[in-house]
Each structure stands twice: as structure tokens, then as C-alpha cells.
Amino acid sequence: LPSNLFTQNYFEKFFKINKLLGQGANGIVYKVEHFINDFSLGFFALKKIPIGNSSNLKKILNEVELLCILSHSNLNLVKYNHVWLEIDSMSQFGPKIPCAFILTEYCDGGNLEELVNDFINPKLSTNEIKNIIRQKRKLKKINKNKDNLNSFPQIETRLLNYLEILKFFKDTTSGVNQLHKNHIIHRDLKPSNCLLSYKYDFKKFSQLDFNYNSNNKNKCIQFLNSLPTVFISDFGESQFEGNKRTSTGSTGTLEFVAPEFHKKYKNLNEFNKKTDIFGLGMILFFLCFGKLPYSASLFNDEEDQEYSELKSEIIKFNIINFFQSNVFKREYYRRDLPLEIYVLLESLLNYDADKRPLTEDILITID
């Protein structure tokens, strides 16, 4: 690459790393603070990607192009700020190589995968732990019977309620709708790519119980307005609709890729809006039940599962048959969710791609 493409030491001069947000085969993401003359311009997400070769650079620039197009489009897409190249290392002791730095909006609330897992396995803060210990000591002084201490209330675990599911899924669908309006296919929709605008203190709403009727309308609206906004992120695999598929592999995270891409065809399937819709359906499924409908899964532990076993299960998956199965009735079914949610899931996860709805139709259904 020509030397005039590089802005050497730009990162060191204007940014300070706050913390590591994520690391994978395609690069590293940091939370950084932007400074000019010691004056803070705020926090941003910085994606640092090794360029490697010209084809990889083309892929990186494709992501930047899409980010530029989308930057001022919608409230539910992560905003792009800046991109530059430097010669740098990807680790403390790694060799110096050409790297791309992509600066985007920082979302402080984590992602939907983390949120749902926190609901199911909530972690106590240091202050909450101290408070529980303090209260247990008080109880021990009052009553020395240890059996009574075992009944001390523990933190509640739960799934998302109907309004939380509705709000987070509508935000996610709105972001995808904006992509599709610009003829862009995301290709890697999953809960970890759905970021939250701020940390959701769900514990204070843990006892909330809405009846979802007109009598509660004002209360429901107030609650919905208290929830963080979801932003779609990570456009590294995205492409314009109609672009030809160049490999037989399934781009994206296996569990969220439409089943038609796991089969062997003489003619390769092209990614389109309906393939994104399947990913949206799996996100909704995860929001509703806290897990996916597969017995095998790479979703939470990629190292310990058999790829071929999961792939086979995805190819055979039929949402209608699943809803009628004993496994669903025993491990998934929720009485607190309205029938419309199950009907929507059936349409989004339809095995026949042509029968899956468009994002505009999904938003009308949600409204």
C-alpha cells in the first residue's frame, strides 16, 4: 500500500483506550476517549482491523462505505465517524502491520445477548452483596435459627416481559428496515450485534406485571419510554442487495443464518432481504425464551459443540413442528406472551423464504 494512505500516530495523538470491548478473528474493538489539547470530545467505539491483503482492504472499505451511507439515516443504526490507516501491531508483542481504524458511535448499555443472559443469571453488584451481608448479620442477631436465614430473599431471575420484547424487537426491526430501504443486506444479524444506548437497570422493574390492556395504556407507554434504544452494529459482512455470493460458506453466525444457506445447491443462493428476516426471527425467539430452538448450539460455546450436528439440525428445523413438540411445551412455552408473538415467529422463521414478511410488514404488525 502507498505510504501516503497512512496517517501514522493519529491514534496515539488523539485517543486514549478506556477498555477492551471485544476481540475476534477480524479485529479488536475498544472503548476510547477522543482528546484534542487535553479537551475530551467524548467516548467512541474504535474497531481496529488488520488489513492483510488488498481483498481484505476492499472488504474494510466496503464496511466504511456502508457506514457513510447509513450515518444520518436512522436512530437505530450505529453512526460512523471516521476511518484512517496506520502501521501498528494487533497485540503488545505482535509485529507492526497495516491496520484500519474505524471510529463509530459508542453505545454504553452492552448488547441484547448480554442483557437477556443477565436477566436469566443476574449478577449482584458489590453494593448489593454488601447490603445482603449486612442484612443477614442483622437477622442473625435477632434470630439465631439458621433455617430462617436460608429463606432470605435472593435476587429474582426472569425472562424479558412482553413490553421489553416489543420495544427491543421494534428498534431492531426499524434498524434493519432502514438497511433494506437502502438495498443493504446485513448478513450477520444476532443479539450481540444489537447494542443498547445505555445500561438498563432491569432489577427495579423485576416485579412489574402488566395486563396489556387499554386500562394500562399510560403506564405501558411510560414504561416503554424508560427502556434503552437498540442500535444495529457491525456491517463487516454487509453487502448491497443483488451482489453475487462468492463462496459456498455461510456468512454470519451459524444459528442465525437462514436454513437455505446450509444446503448444497448447484446454483449458490444469494443473500437477500428474506435471509435477514430469518435472522430477525431468531433474535425475537431469543428475546422471548432466552435460548435458541436447537439442542446443539455454537451460540454460547463455540469450542465445545459439533458444527455438523448443529448444521444438520438447522436444515431440518421447522418452526410450526417445533411449536407442536413436547420440547417446546415443556421448556419454552410462555403463557404471559400473546398469541400474536407466536404467529409472528412462525412467519419470520418460515422455512419457505418467499413467505417471510418484509420489515415494513413486521413494523405494521408490531404497531
Q: Which residues, 6 or more positions from 257, have their beta carbon under 8 angstroms from its beta carbon?
A: 250, 251, 275, 278, 279, 314
| CA distance linking residue 249 with residue 227, whole number of Å | 37
Binding positions: 47
Q: Which of 38, 108, 171, 188 is catalytic?
A: 188
Let me know if 209 is a catalytic residue. Answer: no
The three three-digit cell numbers of residue 272, written as one number: 437477500
Q: Which residues pair with 120 in a beta bridge?
A: none
| CA distance linking residue 134 with residue 358, whole number of Å | 54
Q: Exposed/middle/buried for 229, CB within 10 Å: 0-12, 13-18, 19+? A: middle
Q: Exposed/middle/buried for 38, CB within 10 Å: 0-12, 13-18, 19+? A: exposed
From residue 278, give the alpha-carbon distance in Å to each of 6, 81, 247, 299, 313: 40, 30, 20, 16, 15
The helix/strand/coil state of 53 is coil
- Active-site annotation, residues: 188
